[in-house]
Structure 1
């Protein structure tokens, strides 16, 4: 988005679409606007309007000050916070100029087992001064580096792989996971999977029967 000289202005989890293979895309560009030619000045002041969602909004936006793409970086940091704690961010205190309370987040993140590297990315994105925040390109670079260090693929969402590549990656991981199984464990797993498939087929037949019954009732 920023590479195309745009500002989104409403980044939050609700505005991301997740495909069946965990391929994530940003959506809802209703508030997005084109930046000025220099990339740091708004066109005719149109981007100075207060828009977005309060809990994810940058302090400068909340206070009606001039803002640029670094406001998106702040919102992305709040989105990462949302994902890391699995809870929506709380409204920030206007008496503190809507500052992000780093110490409180670090405490909650430590309890939730959030990787230190990700905690630091979130803290950097949510700096009070826009100039102190990284660019989105820098943020994604750091996240990709972190993803490579995560053995459990907890940061796979930053990868720009195609769906087929993600499927192949998952299958490879599954093969590795099952490689060291004993024959007894492998047989037990297969029986469990077979039972699961049978239950799914049975549930599917029941759903079809219900749909057919409902259709017949409507026709009568």
Structure 2
């Protein structure tokens, strides 16, 4: 049983060491591996993935051109509505209510557009990605190294105990049988035999 525990201890230590080495290799440069794996799984272009995973000045927003065109279109519609309201309402007062409704809808659309721009920015996703990498490459790796050290100490202590106990046991002299009996005990078998012999001799 002790040998089985020793084998399991050294086996778990080897598994933890292999995991620590693999994790340290991954954490040395995780971005290319994550980019390639994500591209294979999702099929997204490398420009989009590089923008969100790297999030630096060297990588431009792949949606920036479309967002700029959309913002210009909204600004153009807004200016057209203002011009139409300024010129048409004095001559056709009945169109004021539909124009106000269109202007409210345009304001809501502009608000949603600004929210979309904020959501498409790389800061939020890159922050979560960095936090996940720090948790994996710092906290998890540190805990794994402490676990590996504890397993090494446990396996070493168990191996030392298994190797030294037989030799230490051989150093102790064999103990003689020790008769821990009380001669005055009336229930002692020796006292019973003595009384039986005395009774026979008295007959």
Query: Which TM bucket (shorter chain)?
Result: under 0.3
What TM-score, normalized by structure 1, do the two folds share?
0.20
- Larger-Rg structure: 2
If asked which structure has higher relative contact order (CA below 8 Å, sep 6+), I would say: 2
- With normalisation by structure 2, the TM-score equals 0.21
Relative to its length, the structure with more helix (as a share) is 2
